[in-house]
Structure 1
Amino acid sequence: MIRTVICDDHPLITQGLKSYIDLNRQIQIVASAASAKELRDVLSVTDADVLLLDIQLPDGNGIDLCAEVKQAYPELKILGLSNLDDRNIILRMLNQGASGYLLKSAPMEEIEKAILHIYDGGVYLGQHAQNSLVLLKNNLSGEIPLVTRREKEVLHYLSQGLSSVEIAEKMFVSPLTVDTHRRNLLQKFNVSKTVNLLQKAKDLGIIQ
């Protein structure tokens, strides 16, 4: 059985998912939560394989929560559920460790299919999400670059307007190391200026 947790603050959606998924002998809804706090409490006492995570919660956003949950439970597969068909949100969810993204308007059988797919190690994107990413890739004229965790940190601090020396102090590395990360990022994103680097990183949902 694929042990699944639902985190959504809309009771009708949670109940609808439970009623439908409970008919599948491969998937079991083991718990539900209506907020980020409830989810933390649930996961601390519940063994789960898959998490259906709402992007908008009353006490936080699902993107930050996704990163937090993946850090605490790296084996847990996360499927983002949202009413928002926004490429930046989709990319940010994937960058934070989600294994898929679906609109809440998706048919119940597609949500079920997505659970099975990500449980097996795949990545599942609904048609709207796929279309958004195809358009983004075409607009950027190239592949989405792979960015390391340390490079993401540098991007984050650059977006705050910090200098290499200030970033080095925060990351406990030398300014030379920061400059190396910056040069690598410029090369990966095929740009020559930091302002263009930050804009591309925002378009890709890597930074806010």
Structure 2
Amino acid sequence: MSPHSRPIVIAIVEDHPIVIEGLRKILSRDLPVQEIVEHHTGAGFLRYLASNKQTLDVVLLDITLPDANGVELCAEIKRLSPGTVVLGFSNHSDRSLVLQLLSQGASGYLLKNATAAEIIQCITEALQGQISFSDQIKQIIAKPSANQLKPIPPLTKREKQVLRMIADEKTSTEISEELMVSPFTIETHRRNLMQKFGAKNVVGLIKIATELRLL
């Protein structure tokens, strides 16, 4: 069914009123909008989604809300309403962040400097089942990062386990207890992982591993 063949319900989850006002004008003018729902926090929107019985077609999701991680929020939205199209809407153009959001079920990603035509095109394409990006994000996605051009370092089975647990924010003590080895052994694995990936700290380690699709 074409997205223009019936009125659609769109949610804007964004904490800046002026951004919402601009989006409302664009969406109301250029799409067959039945209703535009507005929420300023992730928690408030999830409560709405859990109790709302009407079909929600599209969510424009700011991924840097004051109370929620956008990637985790996207996953929860798709869990509560699998048929709803989620489009990331942000000032952040980090390639790994875009890929993380897509991995949680998002149908696309727009930068807040996108034109009105780009916004409408992305929504239309997403409603047709496509993955859609604003023009600047298309360029970022098409160009691999320096990390992605690196060869994937060989990891032992235990190093893969430790890497996943580090990504889950577990401490060396917690990891050692779960794997029933000494904390010293886990610290050795941490150092080896940093060296293999060429990372300076844990944040860098997780970023590189994510870009290499190891997490």
Same topology, TM > 0.5: yes
Code of the residue aligned with 1:82 in structure 2: it is S
The answer to whether the 8 A contact 1:6-1:29 is kept is no
From 53, 72, 94, the counterpart of 2:80: 72
TM-score by length of 1: 0.71
TM-score by length of 2: 0.68
The answer to whether the 8 A contact 2:96-2:207 is kept is no
The answer to whether the 8 A contact 1:50-1:79 is kept is yes
Q: RMSD of the alignment, in Å?
A: 3.2
Q: Which has the larger radius of gyration?
A: 2
User: Any idea what the Cα deviations from partners look like across 1:44-97, whole Å, max 9, x if unmatched?
Assistant: 314201100001111112111001111121111100000111112111111111
User: Deviation of residue 138 (structure 1)?
Assistant: 7.4
From 21, 27, 32, the counterpart of 1:15: 21
From 111, 114, 117, the counterpart of 2:119: 111
From 166, 177, 202, the counterpart of 2:178: 166
Q: How does 1:25-40 map to 2 (within 5 A)?
A: 25-40=31-46
User: Any idea what the Cα deviations from partners look like across 1:103-129, whole Å, max 9, x if unmatched?
Assistant: 011011211111111011000012222
The equivalent of 1:92 in structure 2 is 100
The answer to whether the 8 A contact 1:3-1:47 is kept is yes
User: Deviation of residue 199 (structure 1)?
Assistant: 6.3
Identity of aligned residues (%): 34
Aligned positions, number: 175
1:69 is paired with a residue of what secondary structure? Answer: helix
Structure 1 alignment gaps of length 5 or more: 143-151, 168-192
| CA–CA distance in structure 2, aligned partners of residues 14 and 158 of structure 1 | 37
| CA–CA distance in structure 2, aligned partners of residues 86 and 3 of structure 1 | 29
Q: Does 1:202 align with 2:210?
A: yes
| CA–CA distance in structure 1, aligned partners of residues 127 and 61 of structure 2 | 15
2:83 is paired with a residue of what secondary structure? Answer: coil
Q: How does 1:111-130 map to 2 (within 5 A)?
A: 111-130=119-138
| CA–CA distance in structure 1, aligned partners of residues 19 and 123 of structure 2 | 16
User: Any idea what the Cα deviations from partners look like across 1:19-46, whole Å, max 9, x if unmatched?
Assistant: 1211234334431100012211222314
